[in-house]
Structure 1
Amino acid sequence: MTSRHISRRGFGKGTVAAGIGAALAGTAAGAPAAAAAPRWRATGTAVSALAGFDDAMQTFMQERDVSAGQLAVTYQGRLVLARGYSWTDDTALDVQPTSLFRLASLSKPVTGAAVARLAQEGEIDLSAPIGSLVDLVPPEGGSADPRLGDVTVRRLLHHLGGWDRDSTPDPMFQDFEIADALGVPLPIGRDDVMRYTTGLELDHDPGGTYAYSNYGYLLLGRAIEAVTGGGYRAYVQDNVLGPVGITRMRPGRTAEDHAAPTEVPYRSQYTGTTVLDGSGAKVPAPYGAFNLENMDSHGGWLGSAVDLVRFATVFDTPAATPVLDDTSIEQVFAEPETGVGSGGSYYGFGWQVRPVSSGGTGRNTWHTGSLAGTYTLLVRTYNGMSWAALFNQRDDPSGLSYADIDPLLWEAAREVESWPGGDRFPDYFD
């Protein structure tokens, strides 16, 4: 998004990831009333042996003035902690362990699981060119890069499709440019994004360079629709989430008045010009500076932390759920044809992967998500722990990094002397 659409007022940290600028509107004319002191509140059942997790979340949120957060932790496949947190003077904000948050790029592991399930069923060929499944038609008078024929489903899953947002701006955040180029009104749709991007030259040869691509996962969502003959949401809910009892998760909506029941409000320092219509109105960045509906398969899901750690059990081996078999799970976490980092980490099917050798061989897998108004983290460890942490903002005047939640939660896990018994999953799933 360019500076003609985004402005900045006063204080705060620079843009992150997609880059949403401009501070929130100030107070009304006249001297502002003194703000009430924020109050810390935690919901869900406290577990004394896991108090370090609560402490980590409280420290993180209070240092950054985050009003809503959530955490769920599992051990050996059992839910041992599920908490909602608030740090605010807003007495109406009631964050429960099942409240819904935007998941941002934690949507990618969901899409990766759906594609792996289709491959397991013989419904999709991971080596198939994406153009054989999805119509990739450039704008009238334009031409498609001939290398698109080398963009396969597997390469999209591994971010090896050839699109590089560090070279060419991420088309998922180019609504104004796409509308102008195609001569269509706002809001643009996913088909518009695809038509515009098909007319661009690839930044890399497919399969040659790892470059994180939201657009690649948009195409995977459309491939799911093409091979199933139905909607992306329906397939995921019926074949990935439903089999493990997850019914709360759903695609989110952009506009504030379209929030789902129990969905938290989102906060950002920034405002932007709405992409939902051509009015030119300034809106809080989380509520119209990007189009969440277009991001369904790469960044559009809503869910809770308990939903995410339940979803993570889909990847337990030996397979403990009816979603993916052991062969499919190994394929999800297999090394790509290129893109292995110096420390051995790489990108699987919707997951970052790092092999770990400690008394055996295993792997840590994780993903983060980031949008204006959202920061999320999902971790699976080689020794049977997992956790999900969700927040309703990613920027604040402190300038502190939101990625700091990762080492804080690892430290909390290492400090656990004895993991509690029992399983709280039945408290949250039928």
Structure 2
Amino acid sequence: MSPPAWLDQLPRTVGSLSPATDTAFTDPLDAAADAISAHAPALSLAVARPGSGLWSTTRGAPEGSRFAAASIGKSMTAALVFQLAHEGRLQLGDTLDRWFPDLPSSHLVTLDHLLTHTSGYFLPASSPLSGPYMPPEDHFARLRDTGPVFCPGTNWAYSNVGYQLLGRITEAVDGRSYAASLQARILAPLGLDATHVLQADTPDPMMVAGHVGGEPVGPVDYATPFAAGPVSSTAGDLVRYWSALLAARITSPAALGQMTETLYPMFGQANAAYGRGIQVSRIDGPGLLVHHSGGVTGFTAGVAWLAEDDLVIAAMTNDRNVPAEAAIWSLTRALRAS
């Protein structure tokens, strides 16, 4: 897919993200949050607008409570890869046999294939994430048995295991754990103190309990997705992160351009596409969104830049049946109507 013309606004200039005080901005959002909070046990919501600052709220849980960001973390993994490429320590065209010579077709699969979900490495989920921690190597072993489901570069399939492979590759290239790289390269420089890298067998004490249809889910080790869904966070931190990403404060402007220059339709939808760690959608109502969504057992999350409104919005819920995208749209409508 050709990138929408409005993407030429990137990198975007980020205004102040200090707490918003203008009641013309905050009052409609507070009212919308009241209405949204009736649909989930807990919510974290945040909106930033140039000239207005950052509004954020937590409902149904103590302020500062964290929620699973799920696949939004894939954009962080992609940013790490682009940083290492900028440093000359890897190239997007590198093939996986450099790190995983025993994977089928690894001499044909490139890092770029993994970033864009076009590698053919795909493992269907047999059930929702549950139970104790499962290391990425268990998934890699399944890949050795199944091989790619299509020839690399010939099709598209959303691949968690592909981003898990990228996580292990960043560790090998950067010489430290994925968590340490993420903390040192993205979270600490941006001051994302409310974002936590999930660790195996170590529950995040600030993370709220997940639900499905209002019912709590059983024990889940949310570190299992690894680099495909690595963090718990708040909506406020996600807005700060997304604003910095789209301002090219994490990667170079050239790398940010690469993240959206080649777009693949997602799940056969003509209005939703995937680049390299970033989704681009055009939806009736919100218009053009540069975003990433996330969903995992008990949680949904979304963060988006709405080009027409120049808003960065994040929403996180602790109920898998309550879509974060609906909350983002509700907040947008509240501002448009004010």
- Decide: shared fold, TM above 0.5: yes
> CA shift at 1:390, angstroms?
0.9
Of the three residues 277, 280, 285, the one matched with 2:217 is 285
Q: Give 2:330's aligned residue.
A: 408
* 1:24 equivalent in structure 2: none
Whole-angstrom CA distance in 1 between matches of 2:179 and 2:144: 24
Secondary structure of residue in 2 paired with 1:225: helix
Amino acid at match of 1:394: R
Q: 2:120 aligns with which of 159, 162, 168?
A: 162
- Tell me the equivalent position of 2:100: 135
Aligned in 2, Cα 1:78/1:160: closer, same or farther, shift over 3 Å? Answer: farther
State the one-letter code of the partner of 1:303: S
TM-aligned CA distance change 1:53 to 1:150, over 3 Å:
farther
2:33 counterpart residue number: 57
Q: Which residue of 1 aligns with 2:186?
A: 240
Q: 1:268, 1:301 → 2: CA distance?
A: 20
Counterpart amino acid of 1:228? D
Distance 1:160 1:302, change over 3 A: same
* Cα shift readout 1:348-406 (whole Å, capped 9, x = no counterpart): 221111479xxxxx9631111111211111011225310111111113xxxx7664224
Change (3 A) 1:286 1:71: farther
Shift of 1:212: 0.8
Whether the aligned pair in 1 keeps the contact of 2:121 and 2:143 (CA below 8 Å) is: no
Hey, what's the Cα distance between the residues in 2 that align with 1:232 and 1:67? 32
Quote the sequence identity (%): 25
Alignment of 1:239-258 (within 5 A): 239-252=185-198, 258=202
Question: SS where residue 332 of structure 2 aligns?
Answer: helix
Deviations 1:148-170 (A, max 9, x none): 322211111111111345xxx23
| Alpha carbons 2:315, 2:324 under 8 Å: kept | no
Matched residue, 1:265: 209
Which residue of 298, 301, 315 corresponds with 2:245?
315
Secondary structure of 1:80's counterpart equals: strand
Partners in 1 of 2:50 and 2:167 — Cα distance?
31
Between 1:47-56 and 1:376-385, the stretch displaced more is 47-56
Of residues 242-251 and 102-111 in structure 1, the stretch that sits farther from structure 2 once superposed is: 242-251
**Alpha-carbon shift at residue 61 of structure 1 (Å):** 2.8
Asked if the contact 2:313–2:328 (Cα under 8 Å) also holds between the matched residues in 1, the reply is no
What's the counterpart of residue 273 of structure 2? 346
Deviation at 1:243, TM superposition (A): 1.6
CA contact (8 A) 2:317 2:323 kept: no
Equivalent pair of 1:53/1:409 in contact (CA under 8 Å): yes
> Which residue does 1:277 correspond to in 2?
none
Q: CA deviation at 1:54?
A: 2.6
- Corresponding residue number in structure 2 for 1:333: 260
Instruction: Determine the structure 2 residue equivalent to 1:279.
Output: none
1:312/1:230 CA distance change after superposition, 3 Å? same
User: Does structure 1 residue 200 correspond to structure 2 residue 146?
Assistant: yes
Cα displacement (A) at 1:75:
1.3
CA contact (8 A) 1:111 1:217 kept: yes
- The equivalent position to 1:305 in structure 2, one of 221, 230, 235, is 235
Q: Which has the larger radius of gyration?
A: 1
Taking the TM superposition and a 5 Å limit, the aligned residue runs for 1:54-133 are 54-62=30-38, 64=39, 66-76=40-50, 79-86=53-60, 93-94=61-62, 96=63, 98-132=64-98
CA distance in 1, matches of 2:162, 2:128: 14
Q: Is residue 103–residue 299 contact of structure 1 (8 Å, CA) maintained in 2?
A: yes
Query: Is the 2:69–2:233 Cα contact (8 Å) retained in structure 1?
Result: yes
Q: For 2:182 and 2:229, how far apart are their aligned partners in 1?
A: 14
Alpha carbons 1:102, 1:252 under 8 Å: kept? no
Give me the whole-angstrom Cα distance separating, in 1, the residues matched to 2:214 and 2:317. Answer: 16
69 and 45 in structure 1: CA distance in 2 versus 1, 3 angstrom threshold? farther
Count of aligned pairs between the two proteins: 314
1:385 aligns with 2:323: no
Q: Secondary structure at the match of 2:155?
A: coil
| Conserved 8 A contact 1:171-1:197 | no
CA distance in 1, matches of 2:122, 2:331: 31
Distance 1:112 1:172 in 2: 26
Report how far residue 126 of structure 1 moved: 0.5
Contact 2:198 2:223 in 1 (8 A): yes
What's the offset of the Cα at 1:79?
A: 3.5
What amino acid is the match of 2:302? Answer: L
SS in 1 for 2:94: coil
AA of the residue aligned to 1:160: T
Query: Per-residue displacement from partner, 1:23-59 (whole Å, max 9, x unpaired)?
Result: xxxxxxxxxxxxxxxxxxxxx9885323332333332
- Structure 1 gap segments, 5+ residues each: 1-43, 87-92, 138-143, 177-185, 272-283, 357-361, 417-430
**Cα deviation, residue 214, structure 1:** 0.9
Report the TM-score, using the length of structure 2 for normalisation: 0.81
Gaps of 5+ in 2: 1-18
On the 8 A contact 2:94/2:111 being kept in 1, the answer is yes
1:365 aligns with 2:290: yes
Q: How far apart, in 2, do the equivalents of 1:343 and 1:237 lie?
A: 36
Question: Which SS does the other structure have where 1:287 is aligned?
Answer: coil
Question: 1:225: which partner in 2?
Answer: 171
RMSD, aligned CA: 3.1
Shift of 1:315: 2.5
The alignment partner of 2:146 has SS state of coil
